[in-house]
Structure 1
Amino acid sequence: MRDRVVLWAAAAVLALLVLAAVAGLWLAPHDPGLQDIALGPVGPSAAHWLGTDDLGRDVFSRLLAGAATALWGPAVVAVGTTVLGTVLGLVAGYHKGWTDAVLMRVTDLMIALPGLLVLIVLVGIVGGGYGWSVAALVVLYAPFDTRVIRSLALAQRELAYVEAARTLGLSSRTIMFRHILPNLAPTVLANVLITFVVALVSLAGLSFLGIGLPAGTPDWGLMIEENRALLDLNPWASLAPAALIALAATAATLLGDGLFERFNQKGAGRAGD
């Protein structure tokens, strides 16, 4: 019962954050880019629930507007990384031989690279941009999923149902994606949510460093950097986006763990039957 409550609570939190990402601009009580220099940074009030930043912009409105940039990038990284890593892992694990050897050597090389440093260099070379940061993270994180899926595919290819499919003359593609992949669904789903958390923190860190998004863009990571000097005047301007990043990461982690356990229990139940 307790696990179910945690699972539903995590799902509810993520649903609210997705709602903010989709409709944040319409839900915001103020224009997130509207400046009031005369007002400056003030604490929470009836007019500004979380106060304002140093340019007099409403913090709560900027949090709602920033949910889109804070969440869509990690979501794209999570899906792209999982798709790429799953396909490569299945191919390597099922075919083995030279295909596996080549893919694993490239994977080992990518994993050995210092990811954050490589990302900063790559984004610097191409001239910045949020889209480039997202694309680079997909390439850098895919090898980790490839390793996980490859190890599972190696075990699955030796099972009786795979041998039976080969005997029936089914193609390798059919065996990999219609027979083996469904059995890896719990791990694939967990990988999506884990990668989302890692990408969320990574992209927020890049925004904090001033990489990817232009100054003034409503974004949680950028808001932390822009407002860290206001801790004495309005700490919510910096603490609120940091809290939302932590909340989103925690909810995604709990949801991933909960779904992984539930799917595994159902799979074990079907196997027992």
Structure 2
Amino acid sequence: MTELATAPNTKELGQPGPAEKRRRTRPPVLIWLAGAVAAVIVALMLIGTWIAPFDPTRQDLMNTAAGPGGGHVLGTDSLGRDVLSLLLAGARTAVIGPLIVATGTAFLGAALGMVAGWRGGFVDSFMSRVADLMYALPGLLVIIIVVGVLDGGYWLAVVVLTALSIPTAFRMTRSVAAAQARMPYIEAARTLGLPVPRILLRHILPNIFPTVLATFLLDFVAVLIALSGLSFLGLGAPPGTPDWGTLLQDGQSMLTVNPWVSLAPALLILSTAISVTLLGDWMYDRYSTRGAQR
């Protein structure tokens, strides 16, 4: 009598089936909420000025520091401007700077890190020492001094933050790129005589993408807080420009009259930072796990 070969039961072997795999890769509810918050913030950056109920720059000196009511959902600030309109219009200033810094940092950090990790030797050592020197600088103090002395304001702060953020992105990318450069598949590509740009862009970059993504999102959160802090100190957005950090500063003297002037932008900054951090953590885990399973 011959025994019939039966397919192994994946559940008995402890291996997840297709439905279980889909369930595990499905984002949890918290990630969906974080994504919704991030999507709303992006929408506000794009159309916040047009959906504001009032002109955010219009002053009503007869209705200053008023609480919610009279058509003003969150009240008015010390100049009689509608707080809700300032929040909606200020999303562009609050978000566009961190996006520019995070994009530039991720791009330059990844490019320099891949070159250093690939070449090794003197090039790697020299670039690493320069990055270490820049990393040792007190970033916030440098920004305050440069922006204060040159009276450059918001966009100068964006440039300085980009320069100061590159060393961190470089160090993160360089370590994983150096590890990938010693992998057998890279040695095989070298043996086949593939051009260096193709090896870097087609083989190394996809495998270090989780690190680049994490760098981008972490830098976005850090710069969002930094630029808001500079605006709070009067070194960021120009006076009169709708901005969350500027609103925080303006609301200091009105906490007992209309706390929403400070509370609302603080909640927006906090919710944006938390949602982007949660998304970055989840996306990093997902993409790095996929890369490890290839």
Residue of structure 2 equivalent to 1:89: 113
Separation in structure 1 between the aligned mates of residue 120 and residue 66 of structure 2, nearest angstrom: 62
CA distance in 1, matches of 2:156, 2:202: 33
Give the counterpart letter for 2:34 in structure 1: A
Counterpart residue number, 1:10: 34
Choose the corresponding residue for 2:216, options 180, 186, 192: 192
| Structure 1 match to 2:51 | 27
How far apart, CA to CA, are the structure 1 residues paired with 2:149 and 2:106? 26
Residue type of the partner of 1:88? L
1:162 maps to what in 2? 186
> In structure 1, what residue type is equivalent to 2:217?
L
Query: Computing the radius of gyration over CA atoms, which structure comes out larger, 1 or 2?
Result: 2
Alpha-carbon offset, residue 3 of structure 1: 4.8
In the alignment, residue 132 of structure 1 is paired with which amino acid? L
Q: Corresponding residue for 2:10? A: none
Within a 5 Å distance, the mapping from 1:125-140 to structure 2 comes to 125-140=149-164
Whether the 8 Å CA contact 2:67–2:74 is kept in 1: the answer is yes
Task: Write the distance in 2 (CA, Å) between the matches of 1:25 and 1:231.
Answer: 26
Q: Distance in 2 between matches of 1:30 and 1:101?
A: 56
Is residue 69 from structure 1 mapped to residue 65 from structure 2 by the alignment? no
In 1, Cα distance between equivalents of 2:233 and 2:260: 20
Q: How many pairs are equivalent? A: 270
Taking the aligned partners of 1:16 and 1:96, their CA distance within structure 2 comes to: 43
Quote the residue 1:47 is aligned against: 71
Q: How does 1:151-230 map to 2 (within 5 A)?
A: 151-230=175-254
Of 210, 232, 235, the residue aligned with 2:259 is 235
**Are the equivalent residues in 1 in contact too, given 2:244–2:265 (CA < 8 A)?**
yes
Structure 1 runs of 4+ aligned residues shifted over 4 Å read none
Q: Secondary structure at the match of 1:184?
A: helix
Q: Give the unaligned 5+ runs of structure 1.
A: none
Distance 1:213 1:153 in 2: 37
Per-residue displacement from partner, 1:215-253 (whole Å, max 9, x unpaired)? 121100011001111000000011100110001100100
Give the alignment's TM-score, normalised by structure 2.
Answer: 0.89
1:248 correspondence with 2:272: yes
- Mapped to 2, the partners of 1:73 and 1:44 lie a distance apart of 30
Matched, 1:145 2:174: no
Q: What is the aligned partner in structure 1 of residue 13 from structure 2?
A: none
Partner of 1:38: 62
Post-superposition Cα deviations, 1:20-69, rounded to whole Å, max 9, x if no partner, equal: 11101111001111111111111112501111111111000000000000
CA distance in 2, matches of 1:173, 1:26: 44
What CA RMSD, in Å, does the superposition of the two structures yield over aligned residues?
1.2
TM-score normalised according to structure 1 size: 0.96
Structure 2 unaligned blocks of 5 or more? 1-22
Inter-partner Cα distance in structure 1 for 2:126 and 2:275? 37
Say which structure is richer in helix: 1
State the 1:124 CA deviation.
Answer: 2.4
Inter-CA distance 226–104: structure 2 relative to 1 (3 Å threshold)? same
Residue 129 of structure 1 aligns with an amino acid whose one-letter code is G
Range with bigger deviation, 38-47 or 23-32: 38-47
Q: How far did 1:125 drift?
A: 3.2
In the alignment, the residues of structure 1 paired with residue 27 and residue 255 of structure 2 have an alpha-carbon distance, to the nearest angstrom, of 37
Percent sequence identity over aligned pairs: 51
Q: Does 1:106 align with 2:130?
A: yes
